[in-house]
Amino acid sequence: MTTSPRTEAAAARPLRNAMSIDVEDYFQVSALAPYIPRADWDRRECRAEANVRRILAMLDEAGVKATFFTLGWIAERHPQLVKDIVAAGHELASHGYGHERASDLDRAAFTQDVRRAKALLEDLGGVAVQGYRAPSFSIGAQNLWAFDVLQEAGYRYSSSVYPIAHDHYGMPDSPRFAYPVRDGLIEVPVTTNRIGGRNLPSSGGGYFRLLPYGVSRWLIRRVNEVDAQSAVFYFHPWEIDPDQPRVPGVDAKSRFRHYVNLSRTEGRIRRLLGDFAWGRMDEIFLPAPAAAH
């Protein structure tokens, strides 16, 4: 049996993985919430805009398009940044408005948050916002009603479930790869590897900063080659900012999680951009629109 040149070309072409950025500032991180009152946010130096512009330059240099899950709070204060993300060909998606965990909100408050963010981003960016990622991957077994809210608000996909066991989030028994959760709405979990009967985080964040770069590269490659699936990678603008202000009084665990290897992250991401093929979440996971006749 012979294969067509088209089939052989498709087989030789590497899988595209999804590169995503959660656009929030250092003082909005959930782990630091006990030390930084929400009322103080506007009094702190906002470093997200400059960091996102560094990321845009880095992506442009690598020829990579990505998805920016953007907080409405940031977008409201930096509207030109939102326009520039869209103008550069990246996907504009929602990280909610106020970086409140979905698991901390009731249905009414969650509805208001995700609708407010979607409307604001669409108004500023001039494009449809199809994707949503909950702060701290905070959709889990106890608040699956959040998918109903996202469907009703007009989102087409969520990337809000982390199928691991973790002290802050996680639903380890949920599917590891994209699956439908409501009519017209899919969940695209961030990436894990199934090793030794457990799901191991393989998608960025603190693990990417903590572990040697080669470990993350191996884990992503394993998902591409063993599972034959596209990986979902994520990071935050503050993770390439080793000069960010240090928050005093932070407990040792949170301090370690937040500040470990900040000075190395940008270099590692540059390597990652070159080691794999990357694209936007919507282009990889959503069906292409039907051609007009």
| 97-109 residue pLDDT tens | 999 999 999 999 9
| 42-69 residue pLDDT tens | 999 999 999 999 999 999 999 999 999 9
Residues whose CB is less than 8 angstroms from the CB of residue 30 and which lie 6 or more positions away in sequence, other chains included: 99, 101, 135, 136, 168
- Global pTM? 0.93
The mean pLDDT value for 189-209 works out to 92
**The predicted structure's pLDDT at residue 48:** 97
**The predicted structure's pLDDT at residue 173:** 83
Cβ pair 207, 216 in contact under 8 A: yes
- With a pLDDT cut of 70, the percent of the chain lying above it is 92
Of the candidates 119, 223, 111, which has an alpha carbon nearest to the alpha carbon of residue 163? 223
User: Residue 36: pLDDT band by 50, 70, 90 thresholds?
Assistant: very high
In whole angstroms, what is the distance from residue 264 CA to residue 247 CA?
20
Four-residue CA torsion sign, 180, 174, 255, 114:
positive
200 versus 279: the higher-pLDDT residue is 279
**The predicted structure's pLDDT at residue 292:** 46
Consecutive H or E run containing 53: helix 48-62
Tokens of 164: 């691991």
Of the candidates 205, 204, 237, which has an alpha carbon nearest to the alpha carbon of residue 81? 237
**The predicted structure's pLDDT at residue 169:** 63
Instruction: Classify strands 67-70 and 198-201 as parallel, antiparallel or unpaired.
Output: unpaired
User: Residue 282: pLDDT band by 50, 70, 90 thresholds?
Assistant: very high
**The predicted structure's pLDDT at residue 167:** 57
Q: Give the end-to-end CA distance of the chain in Å, rounded to a whole number.
A: 35
**The predicted structure's pLDDT at residue 14:** 77
Of the candidates 176, 173, 157, which has an alpha carbon nearest to the alpha carbon of residue 228? 176
Identify the architecture of domain 14-285 in CATH: Alpha-Beta Barrel (3.20)
Where do the structural domains in the chain lie, given as residue ranges? Answer: 14-285
155 versus 8: the higher-pLDDT residue is 155
Instruction: Classify strands 192-195 and 198-201 as parallel, antiparallel or unpaired.
Output: antiparallel
In whole angstroms, what is the distance from residue 266 CA to residue 268 CA?
5
